[in-house]
A and B are shown apart, each in its own frame.
Chain A
Amino acid sequence: MSAASPQSQSKARLRKRPRSKAAMAETRRGWSYAAPDWVFIIGLFIVPIVLLVVMAGSRWSLMGGNRGWNFPENFIKVFEHPLLLKSMGFTLKYTVIVTIILLALGLGLALLVQESSKWNSILRTCFLLPSATGLASASLLFYALYSPQVGPVTRILSFFGLMEADGSVLATGSSALWATTLVIVWRYSGYYMLLMMIGLQSIPGDLYEAARMDGAGTWRIFRSITLPLMKPTIVMCLVYCVTGSILAFDQFFIITRGGPNNETLTVVQLIYSFAFESKKDLGMAAALSLLVLVFLVIINSIQMRGMRDDTK
């Protein structure tokens, strides 16, 4: 795997050597190329985050503004809220389902269409086209598809006897969950396929040839070459997908509104509700946002540890 990890080799070199002039120059160059990134991060991200932290510790209503420090009252109110556990449970369930389906499908599609041919390029385009819709448009589109009044889905399902003719796919918590999952899978499969393909391209072709010459079968090659070498990409997709799913909002906001009866309420919807709908309390919303942020940082660093171990 020599070609895959040039940076880990040079890292080893760096540790042994005392800091030299060359290393100083490298540091300077590294920072200057990363500078625009940092400008964005500091200017547009860190400042709002600091403000968010202040909000979480203050009595801060939607319309009334800041009315002084009250830490940790907002956190207590969040923990005591009856819907917190329910929304956390649902969000985790949704995250597991979506992540498994999307990663498997993304990798599967990438393997299916990676070879260059006219046919594959048509397939690729078909899989990618849904990613061209915005999440809000996609959600609206499926809301129409699911609507018993204008959409065909109810009629099709009831034709096959899978549901009652006057029912709705959004009527129960679990069917609403699957209906929303379908929107996300439809919208993002092509996207993950694209990311997986970028990962696949970094696997040197001669590795495959060598394996093939050794008589390895397709499954064997997949398990011993593709999967291990794809690990950084897969872990990154995992991080991205888990994070995105835990922060799921738009699709539920448009399609289910957390319904039926809060069965599909995600944590971010609860944040939105705290801020703009039920409590109109930005302090509570900020407090829950910070809790979510801390949670994500923890589970993502666990996931990324998986990536690091392998590149050593």
Chain B
Amino acid sequence: MTRSNRFTVRSWKPLAAIAAAAMLISPLAACGGGSGSSSADIPAGGTDDGTKLTLWVRSDKERQATNVAEAYNKSHKNQIKVELVPSEDMEGKVGTSSQTDSLPDLLSGDVVRIPYWASEGIFMDITEQIDGLDNKDDLQQGHIDAGTVDGAEYTLPFFTDQSVLVWNKDLYEQAGLDPDKGPSTVEEFYEQAKAVADLGQDGVAGTYVGGQCGGAAVFMTFPMIWASGEEVMNEDGTKALLDGGASKAVFKMYRDLANTKNGIGAGSQVENCSTWTTPFANGKIGVMPYAGASVATLIEAESKGGPHIGVSAIPGTKKGNGSSFLGGDAVGISKDSKNAAQAWNFLQWLTTEDAQQEAFADKGDTASNLKVIENGYKDVDERIQIANGVLKNGRTPVSPRFNEAFNASGSPWQILLQDQIWGDSGKLKADNQAITDVLAQ
């Protein structure tokens, strides 16, 4: 044994630190029960007594969260304080805080991560309160389902972010396409993207893909598969079904574009989620599936000289209604909140039509109350209405292992996508099986 090695090991032993650490661990073992107040003493409408509430939001939802907090703070004694957490670090921050009982009063998170959070006891059980809402049936059901474990309900919808198809009307015009008509099938998607690619302009490409970003890639391609009448996973989310005919057609379409000069934008193959919407926003991309939540931003940019855009549902291999990936964030009261009644006051306010109108519809964002979706967008841009219209055909895939199989960097889904578009497309069966292996754990 070398000297430093022996020293290092020996130094750890005699120290009282071990005792101290042991003391640390014992309260941890008991954690999970939560130290905050309980949901039993929450009045139906919550309490509005001037309490300061903290709300954690991932940083890419800064704009929407600020709108919500402003609207609530204006009309209530309670005050919401939004704390941003860098999107990539959200999971770690929530995990660490959960172990030290220091979660905020209100916690929001990506809807595909919520099933895991809920099953680990991060949220307070508010089944009684949610079921007591008069307008429960008007709410985006997927976000409530995501936070439902064994019949206990933990979350309500916070933001809805559906995927939609967008195209650049300016580029379409230059390419001789009808700027008011986007693709209605996967095949037309290919033709139109190729027409833009053939313009041969510097930096302009037909479409763009989040090649190293599993999250963006499911957002883009799953709706194409759903709209073709096929499934991506079996019902309980334990088996991947991405080797079907529709999947093959979708992947082949992207592969053909990748083999076309300027077919898929520069950087797509290595796009790691940081900038997957940027090239389109900068007017460099012809047509691509996009974040519905960012359509409002695009329209705003349009009035300031940005590209002119068209919006539709994401098409499948045959003509139809198209489909959408219903993503976004759900919100619940954390297990550590000492102000559950006040937090509930915020949540129940959030579900009301007035709140949804003011905080979302009037700002051009997607509401989570279906009544507001129907009635609240009379005055807004028609394209926002189109973007909202896709909700009824949209889906949210639910699997406790979804994140590991699809979203995590280097996930088996990412490998499948890379093989299908740029690599060895013959590996579809094996790559699909690799996803199943993770889902089935």
Q: Do chains A and B touch in the complex (CB under 8 A)?
A: yes
Set B21, B116, B267: member contacting A50, Cβ < 8 A: B21
The reply to whether A276 and B270 form a contact with Cβ atoms under 8 Å apart is: no
B152 within 8 Å of A by Cβ? no
Digitize B255-267: 1 where CB-to-A-CB distance is under 8 Å, 0 elsewhere: 0000001100111
Least CB distance, A166 to chain B, in whole angstroms = 4
- Chain A residues whose C-beta falls within 8 Å of the C-beta of B12 in the assembled complex: 46, 49-50
- Chain A residues whose C-beta falls within 8 Å of the C-beta of B20 in the assembled complex: 47, 50
Least CB distance, B197 to chain A, in whole angstroms = 10
Return the chain B residue nearest A143 by Cβ. B274
Set B91, B269, B278, B415: member contacting A276, Cβ < 8 A: B91
- Chain B residues whose C-beta falls within 8 Å of the C-beta of A253 in the assembled complex: 88
Least CB distance, B166 to chain A, in whole angstroms = 17
A110 within 8 Å of B by Cβ? no
Interface residues of A in 156-193 (CB under 8 A from B): 165-168, 170-171, 176
- Chain B residues whose C-beta falls within 8 Å of the C-beta of A265 in the assembled complex: 410
The reply to whether B116 and A170 form a contact with Cβ atoms under 8 Å apart is: no
Set B121, B205, B418: member contacting A64, Cβ < 8 A: B121
The reply to whether A257 and B272 form a contact with Cβ atoms under 8 Å apart is: yes
Query: What CA separation (Å) do A256 and B211 show in the bound complex?
Result: 12
The reply to whether A260 and B91 form a contact with Cβ atoms under 8 Å apart is: no
Which listed segment binds B: A95-103, A241-249, A296-304?
Answer: A296-304
The reply to whether B120 and A42 form a contact with Cβ atoms under 8 Å apart is: no
Return the chain B residue nearest A46 by Cβ. B17
- Chain A residues whose C-beta falls within 8 Å of the C-beta of B91 in the assembled complex: 62, 276-277, 280
B303 within 8 Å of A by Cβ? no
Query: What CA separation (Å) do A157 and B375 show in the bound complex?
Result: 54
The reply to whether A260 and B418 form a contact with Cβ atoms under 8 Å apart is: yes
The reply to whether B279 and A259 form a contact with Cβ atoms under 8 Å apart is: no
- Chain A residues whose C-beta falls within 8 Å of the C-beta of B267 in the assembled complex: 147-149, 168
Query: What CA separation (Å) do A276 and B408 show in the bound complex?
Result: 10
The reply to whether B212 and A276 form a contact with Cβ atoms under 8 Å apart is: no
| Interface of B (DSSP majority class) | helix
On chain A, which size bracket covers the interface? 35 or more
The reply to whether A280 and B95 form a contact with Cβ atoms under 8 Å apart is: yes
Least CB distance, B124 to chain A, in whole angstroms = 14
Set A49, A64, A258, A279: member contacting B404, Cβ < 8 A: A279
The reply to whether B17 and A47 form a contact with Cβ atoms under 8 Å apart is: yes
Least CB distance, B185 to chain A, in whole angstroms = 26
Least CB distance, A108 to chain B, in whole angstroms = 29
A213 within 8 Å of B by Cβ? no
Q: A65-B32, A147-B275, A301-B2 are in contact. Are A166 and B266 (CB under 8 A)?
A: yes
- Chain B residues whose C-beta falls within 8 Å of the C-beta of A149 in the assembled complex: 203, 266-267, 275, 278-279, 282, 284
A66 within 8 Å of B by Cβ? yes
Set B122, B261, B409: member contacting A257, Cβ < 8 A: B409
The reply to whether A256 and B272 form a contact with Cβ atoms under 8 Å apart is: yes
Return the chain B residue nearest A154 by Cβ. B266
Interface residues of A in 57-98 (CB under 8 A from B): 61-68, 83
Least CB distance, A289 to chain B, in whole angstroms = 14
Query: What CA separation (Å) do A175 and B116 show in the bound complex?
Result: 36
Set B4, B121, B212, B282: member contacting A301, Cβ < 8 A: B4
Query: What CA separation (Å) do A206 and B262 show in the bound complex?
Result: 65
- Chain A residues whose C-beta falls within 8 Å of the C-beta of B32 in the assembled complex: 64-65
Set A47, A83, A147, A302: member contacting B410, Cβ < 8 A: A83
The reply to whether B17 and A259 form a contact with Cβ atoms under 8 Å apart is: no
Least CB distance, B116 to chain A, in whole angstroms = 7
Query: What CA separation (Å) do A47 and B212 show in the bound complex?
Result: 38
Return the chain A residue nearest B203 by Cβ. A149
Return the chain A residue nearest B264 by Cβ. A166
The reply to whether A63 and B121 form a contact with Cβ atoms under 8 Å apart is: yes
B8 within 8 Å of A by Cβ? yes
Return the chain A residue nearest B120 by Cβ. A63
Which listed segment binds A: B23-31, B237-245, B350-358, B390-398?
Answer: B23-31
A54 within 8 Å of B by Cβ? yes
The reply to whether A63 and B25 form a contact with Cβ atoms under 8 Å apart is: no
Query: What CA separation (Å) do A170 and B12 show in the bound complex?
Result: 43
Digitize A31-65: 1 where CB-to-B-CB distance is under 8 Å, 0 elsewhere: 00000000000100011011100100000011111
The reply to whether B408 and A278 form a contact with Cβ atoms under 8 Å apart is: yes
Return the chain A residue nearest B92 by Cβ. A276
- Chain B residues whose C-beta falls within 8 Å of the C-beta of A304 in the assembled complex: 4
Q: A62-B91, A261-B415, A302-B2 are in contact. Are A280 and B116 (CB under 8 A)?
A: yes
Query: What CA separation (Å) do A62 and B121 show in the bound complex?
Result: 11
A305 within 8 Å of B by Cβ? yes
Query: What CA separation (Å) do A297 and B28 show in the bound complex?
Result: 30
B190 within 8 Å of A by Cβ? no
The reply to whether B270 and A168 form a contact with Cβ atoms under 8 Å apart is: yes
A262 within 8 Å of B by Cβ? yes
The reply to whether A298 and B2 form a contact with Cβ atoms under 8 Å apart is: yes
Interface residues of A in 11-33 (CB under 8 A from B): none
A196 within 8 Å of B by Cβ? no
The reply to whether A63 and B415 form a contact with Cβ atoms under 8 Å apart is: no
A275 within 8 Å of B by Cβ? yes
A273 within 8 Å of B by Cβ? yes
Q: A50-B17, A277-B409 are in contact. List 7 more A-B contacts (CB 8 A).
A: A149-B275, A149-B278, A149-B284, A275-B95, A297-B5, A298-B2, A305-B3
Q: Which 9 A-B pairs have CB atoms at the shortest separation, nearest pair first?
A: A63-B120, A62-B95, A301-B2, A148-B266, A276-B92, A259-B212, A262-B410, A50-B21, A257-B272
Q: List 19 A-B contacts (CB under 8 A).
A: A42-B17, A47-B20, A49-B12, A50-B21, A54-B25, A62-B91, A65-B32, A66-B25, A66-B28, A147-B267, A165-B266, A168-B270, A257-B212, A258-B410, A259-B409, A260-B270, A276-B95, A277-B408, A279-B404
